Structure 1
């Protein structure tokens, strides 16, 4: 509880004691009772009166401060001193509870904000100097001591340790790292001294992107939140005019002005929209906060809401369902040696950062003389053409060989086939295999149990490789040998298969997935290994690269939406019922206080359930 909340609590306790004392004053001492009730009323309600007066001067008349002011002042005018003070007192109790609940919800976001590093250690002239992370340039060597937070993304140059990534991924198990491994900012070095060569500036680092996503998530509201905002804008003036009509029209017809004015005041207290205005946004804020603790970063309430309506989930294969860690598993030369086959392929792929190119270079494991390479040309979705030692080399897939009218040979091995041609003569092929992620199968099974109508896999790999992976994972449909543009076309077609309110999710990690992620109703990127372009384009980022997190995100979405609609229906139903009872004289001021404060407290308690996330 912060200082402001503590001061409010003290005011509530003092006002309650003084109000209880004023209640024992005999009713015939009218003026003493008035003064005795006014003291706690002003102690507890001065800020509400001030806000109401200030808002009226600024043209903002119809809000909860105005409703409480009119209702409580009206009660005093009618001689209901205890009820007038009680209305303000319990309204402030509800406001305090609401403030405390919102504060608790914000703690889940605030905890994530703790990943922001305060400093970075760099070595200058043999001494370790502490600098601002924003001052560190790419390629600098930073030193991270045990217990310190990694300030920037980079590659470990020296040292080994275990790192705590729980603030980023939600996973409590430490991850072992050593020289040569990539490491992301925001995680904590548990033991061992690490020397890290930075690969990104601070503003481009993982931690900065995460903080930016979370800080801006509240700006993208769900339909339910927008509905409540618009509803309150029209609802409040409508109930004020309805209360005015209730006070005037029956009084003119039947007389007894005091009775009908009292009923109108009761009507105003009941109608206060606090329960709706606070509990519904709190539900979505809690859902986003709870998801962030699980390593699922959702960029706004609109995306959280859309997840609950998912019908089709489309996956990219490499790096999403598979590890994306390729290894050369076979060399099949034809007219040249194995060493020559691997050398030509490695030299041709030397300028590429694609995982397949990396695997070939790792298998070759020899320094490449770039001066031997000329006329380099990368052909999208096909492969690479270049000149090596005055020989025309082509390295790529079946399509590249077909385009060059080179007769290639199929292979019985399962894996990605990289063909090599020298001077337009087929010279052999290399088999590269990827490994399925451990929880990919569980992710597909869980999605189907959730009611997802169709799962689809898209890949640039061969039909044999694609169908093999899809068969193991029991994916409904698979499209193979695709170019980046082909993926967009297929997603366009699949969008037409969803129902009117149904949504399509696309999950990817590579730079060539960014256009597809943008086109899908909901784009999900793998944040741990995903490219910057994919993360920027995505609506949701999974920090630990586990496909099973998609099921957890949908569960969070469905639960959040269910709780938000429970609050809307409950609050409106109770308020409408007690409004009717109050209008016909069957509900008094104490029932009105329950309809306002009681309903708000119950709705807020229900909304706070969104912050509790059950791990799958």
Structure 2
């Protein structure tokens, strides 16, 4: 059963895990939970540090299942009471401090006392037991059960070092391995902070008015249609609609946009956003678990649980790699020893191979990078729904854009007015009065223009209004018949049109504009050119993507002239016009069938089929759009195309960092193993190679926290 299946099952309880540090531990804990009585199935989400349990169990039983790692479990719904233990105060780290102190004292003693003194050896032995307590508990259990992982490798290496009298090096292995494990815990905690910060965004309580009584209540007890009162300087606790008041609301928590937006009556607001300067009364529209921020958190956590292709490769590789390393170590310890009789030297070399073969850096190379990148994206208003989409985006070859509402604003505007007779204002008043009674889609653009120019038209008395289907409308004003319609309509209405006017109409149409005419039986009074405005960011974004080597395509149902004009304006490399929704789907399928990795960018509603068929479906304006959140693989929460180059940049950097991590962690192992041939590999070198690789891989992955939305 997949993660999404178990999570959507009705009989599933979600618990938070504290102390989960490695993927191996996660797999072991998941296996232990599945064996608990009453548990039908279980799934651990390592990235989000959660476990989904189907069936009946208790927190005590779950903690027993995680006792090998001292895991602490809390119910997800009660996370407010969860106390986070500081990284520096964690038990394993305290043991590490004590063991390191004992080693330092023992080293001083070994130089101060004579060589026969047993005191330094006792000190090193104590450091091994204290610093390696967790390691031995896991490693010895694994040995008994014939399970071979990094804990097993290290346990054998340390016991072997003690048996051949290398107490100092055994203690060093324990300490440095403990530091490596601490680094892994620290990096995962750092990577998870993005989710934690999302969770802390929305308040836990809100001021609610019920039956004319105002009271502060827990968000879990707030019902749909409750009236929420939000004062200036407070965060909004629930999604809702403003019913009274107006204010500036900072929505950066949801959309990643730092500039506040104006919110007034009938506008939608989201939980976790910040009310800046006005008192708002809001009618709650969603329960706490259904708010936009809750959905984002849920989807981000699901995304971090999904294994990326590179992680699947690493996990599979590590499964076979560890037993192979153990076999090589055994062969190095036995074969040369049997030939030369020098058992001590070659057993030491075999132990060093066990240490250098520890796959810490390799195992952590991918999950830290994926979790960090997805968390960073969520903080910047981009929802990436899995490591697979993060990786696919990094290797995209082409991006197809839906035109309306994506490259353009999706709202037609009057761009040009040419008056031949009468004043522009009085003509605009006439056409707005006539179009006010029309149902034509372009009528709204005329009305909007009249309102913008403060033209009064609603008091114009009009008679005999008549719609002429597919052509235009007519009406009588002040005993004079006026007509509004297309150029073709006026060609029928008037026997001939002035060639100069015909030329102006054709020029406007070549620019991709729709022309509406106001006139009478005899005269043309005004021309009105209407077009869907190109978004301010479109040209900049498309240019940026073209420079990144992407092929950019605009898909539209518009005619060839309009499509070509807008395509030229925004700078796309290809334009496909006169497309029905099924044609868009067909075109995307053609591209993907030709092994061309293609993203589709749309609004997530009427573009759903094409979004689903593309390699990566990217929806814009996901805040408040459930369809976009569900349909797309990547959701740009704000209605801003500028998030696209940032997403591409983050994905490409993540791919590069994962490749660097894998190559480096395997390369350093290979280099260290080659030192066995001349017999130069020591336990010191082996552990420094291991901890060095882990440190570099961790820091390299955490560089993704610094990728900014400043494109």
Both proteins in one fold, TM over 0.5: yes
Shift of 1:460: 2.7
**1:504 matched residue in structure 2:** 598
How many equivalent residue pairs? 562
When structure 1 is superposed on structure 2, of 10-19 and 88-97 the one drifting more is: 10-19
SS state at 1:129 partner = strand
Shift of 1:12: 2.1
Q: Deviations over 1:40-84 (max 9, x none)?
A: 111101111101123344x46211111110000000000001111
1:558 to 652, 656, 659: 652
**2:303 matched residue in structure 1:** 217
1:8 to 85, 92, 99: 92
Unaligned runs of 5+ in 2: 1-83, 419-426, 452-463, 473-487, 492-504, 518-526
**Which is bigger in relative contact order (C-alpha 8 A, separation at least 6)?**
1
When structure 1 is superposed on structure 2, of 321-330 and 228-237 the one drifting more is: 321-330
SS state at 1:163 partner = strand
Q: How far apart are the structure 1 equivalents of 2:531 and 2:101?
A: 76
Change (3 A) 1:480 1:17: same
Matched, 1:523 2:607: no
Q: How far apart are the structure 1 equivalents of 2:216 and 2:530?
A: 45
Q: 5 Å matches for 1:87-102?
A: 87-102=173-188
Change (3 A) 1:38 1:298: same
Q: Deviations over 1:110-136 (max 9, x none)?
A: 212223442344322222234454665
Q: 5 Å matches for 1:364-383?
A: none
Q: What TM-score results when the alignment is normalised by the length of structure 1?
A: 0.83
**1:127 matched residue in structure 2:** 213
Q: Deviations over 1:365-413 (max 9, x none)?
A: 9xxxxxxxxxxxxxxxxxxxxxxx9x9986799xxxxxxxxx8679755
**2:702 matched residue in structure 1:** 608
Q: Tell me if the contact between 2:401 and 2:553 (Cα under 8 Å) persists in the aligned partners.
A: yes
2:691 to 597, 603, 609: 597
Q: 5 Å matches for 1:192-591?
A: 192-327=278-413, 339=433, 341-345=435-439, 414-415=512-513, 433-452=531-550, 454-497=551-594, 500=595, 502-528=596-622, 531-591=625-685
Q: Deviations over 1:262-305 (max 9, x none)?
A: 11001100000001111322112212222222211111111111
Q: How far apart are the structure 2 equivalents of 1:72 and 1:495?
A: 53
**1:44 matched residue in structure 2:** 131
Change (3 A) 1:337 1:280: closer
Q: How far apart are the structure 1 equivalents of 2:394 and 2:676?
A: 38
Q: Deviations over 1:329-366 (max 9, x none)?
A: 79999xx98655542417xx8xxxxxx7987997999x
Change (3 A) 1:114 1:225: same
Q: Tell me if the contact between 1:517 and 1:534 (Cα under 8 Å) persists in the aligned partners.
A: no
When structure 1 is superposed on structure 2, of 102-111 and 436-445 the one drifting more is: 102-111
When structure 1 is superposed on structure 2, of 195-204 and 598-607 the one drifting more is: 195-204
Q: How far apart are the structure 2 equivalents of 1:204 and 1:585?
A: 62
SS state at 1:585 partner = coil
Q: How far apart are the structure 1 equivalents of 2:124 and 2:669?
A: 28
Unaligned runs of 5+ in 1: 350-355, 366-388, 398-406, 420-428
SS state at 2:257 partner = coil
For the aligned residue pairs, the C-alpha RMSD in angstroms reads 3.4
Q: Deviations over 1:289-330 (max 9, x none)?
A: 222222111111111111111111111122211222345779
Q: Tell me if the contact between 1:218 and 1:285 (Cα under 8 Å) persists in the aligned partners.
A: yes
2:140 to 44, 47, 53: 53
Q: Tell me if the contact between 1:38 and 1:85 (Cα under 8 Å) persists in the aligned partners.
A: yes
When structure 1 is superposed on structure 2, of 22-31 and 295-304 the one drifting more is: 22-31
